[in-house]
Chains A and B, each alone.
Chain A
Amino acid sequence: MENLDFSVVLSRWDMILQGMYLTIKLTLISTFFGFAVGTFCAIGKRGRTRWLRNVCGGYVEAIRNTPLLVQIFLVYFGLSSLGLPLTAVTVAAIALTINVGAYSAEIMRAGFDSIERGQIEAAETLGLSRAQVYWHVVLKQAMERVYPALTSQFVLLMLASSICSQISAEELTAVANFIQSDTYRPLETYIITGLLYVALSLLLRAAFWLLGLMLFKRRRKLEAFA
């Protein structure tokens, strides 16, 4: 058994930082667009149009019951066979967005379902259109209720973005693969990589917690009364 030597890995900190930056970037981009896709999909799934319900339901089930690795390759080979000149990072972001969109859709649907019928009926009585009901009455409340589940899903997305290393998007895991083949120090490399992911997920959780405090001020005020 040889001695552990972390210094050769840590001396490549500039590459590691670049990898972490790309991991964060991929996560934030696909979280943002994925949440948007998921919300529209959840609305579609609860709507009156039958074919739209089927399409949204099919999308959610198809994504939730197949591995992300396969989805990434499908997007990669699918888009390249269409002849689109896309970089690996763009393909990765698209695949992650499609993936997290389905999971957010399922979470947001649960949130929408949890809103009491009385509120929606009251809003309809006031003459609000369906879009207005969603925007002014339902959306924020639903989001608030499922916020913990949503943020856990986004942290899982950050961890899953490691799979994008397989289409050579140079995020943290891909950088780790390069460093370990360069230094012949796989154990040290992946221990450090693992710990960096742990740090990133703690950071992401803290950021979402702060965002939650800013987004849902009402709950904070209510808690002040309790």
Chain B
Amino acid sequence: MHTENNNTAVPAPRTPRRKAGPSRRYRVMIAYRFLLAIFGGYALAALVAMVTSLGFPEQQASATLSGTLLAFCVHTGVFIWVFMVQSTRKATLGVLIPAIIFAVAYWLLKK
């Protein structure tokens, strides 16, 4: 299941930390990431769907369906991203920047 070299990544002391319980800061960070993944991910997914469906006017029906299929994958991807990266700021930017890009693209396409 796991390779030997993974053992190095595992910290030994677990129990003492557990007893103290997670700090408030940690709780807020986790709650923030969940909100970011759920709502930020949804917003980005919706924008991807909108841009994809408008981006290919000659095959609009296919593009619309593709965009919607893609949207669910994007939302899942955001979830993975938000919890994969170490820094909370990086996680936020990783959602925010693509969202801005797609929002601008949508705005341009709509014009």
A and B assemble together = no
- What residues of chain B have their CB less than 8 Å away from a CB belonging to chain A? none
